[in-house]
Amino acid sequence: MAQNFLDLALTPAVLAAQEHAYGRAAVPGQPGDRDALGPEEVAFVTARDSFYMATVSETGWPYVQHRGGPPGFVKVLGPNEIAFADLRGNRQLISTGNLAGNDRVALILVDYPRRARLKILGHARAVDRGVDPELDARFDVDRPGGRVERILRIDVVAFDWNCPQNITPRWTKSEVEAVVAPLRARIAELEGLSRG
């Protein structure tokens, strides 16, 4: 079971906020071993087609960026490691630059139809394309379009499942099309019958 997330998140200032608001604060444990991703987390992460990742700048500003790709674009390399390809973008390299000064990242991954979300804390490092050919091979770096410049490897330290509250269910175009296809076929069939 994941233990580490709250142990890391419940800092003295957070506990003080709880005390101020509710008159009492949670009792955090000592951050311990890293939380290992289990089968549920692995299935969830590898099914996602997008997520958000926050980094921290050397001036202390948080920075959040959206990442997207076909399901499977986030790979689980081990119980404590996930990775994804960083494509050539607008050449700002804000996330990559931030990681050079502070390797901490926070991710949020959402399954909108199921109204489930997973938060991950970890340490990330950028591995330039060409440095680790075996790693590159897992990411199809030579595919046409969207040139892969580097792989971002994230050492997962902690994760936490959020409650479904306030997640509006949304479906992607392909998910809607899969549901609508038999209805379209049935309509076409009925139209054929009524004409015949």
Ligand X SMILES: Cc1cc2nc3c(=O)[nH]c(=O)nc-3n(C[C@H](O)[C@H](O)[C@H](O)COP(=O)(O)O)c2cc1C
State how far the Cα of 127 lies from the Cα of 84, in Å rounded to an integer.
11
Question: Looking at beta carbons only, is 38 or 68 nearer to ligand X?
Answer: 68
Shortest approach of ligand X to residue 50 CB, angstroms? 8
Q: Which stretch binds ligand X (CB under 6 A): 37-45, 86-94, 104-112, 158-166?
A: 86-94
User: Is 6 an interacting residue with respect to ligand X (CB under 6 A)?
Assistant: no
> Which stretch in 7-15, 89-97, 123-131, 132-140 sits in contact with ligand X by CB under 6 A?
89-97
Dihedral angle computed from the Cα positions of residues 168, 113, 110 and 166, in that order, rounded to the nearest 10 degrees: 20
Of 85-93, 113-121, 126-134, 164-172: span binding ligand X (CB under 6 A): 85-93
Nearest distance from C-beta of residue 182 to ligand X, angstroms: 30
Residue 12 token pair:
């003295």
Site for ligand X in 101-160 (CB under 6 A): 146
Q: Is 92 in the site for ligand X (CB under 6 A)?
A: yes
Name the residue nearer to ligand X (CB basis): 2 or 141: 141
Cβ-closest position to ligand X: 89
Q: 40 to 69, contacts with ligand X by CB under 6 A?
A: 65, 67-69
Burial profile 114-129: b = 16 or more Cβ within 10 angstroms, e = fewer: ebbbbbbbbebebeeb
Q: Given the complex with ligand X, which of 2 and 109 has the nearer CB atom? A: 109
Nearer to ligand X, 4 or 95 (CB): 95
**Binding region for ligand X (CB under 6 A):** 65, 67-69, 86-87, 89-90, 92-95, 146
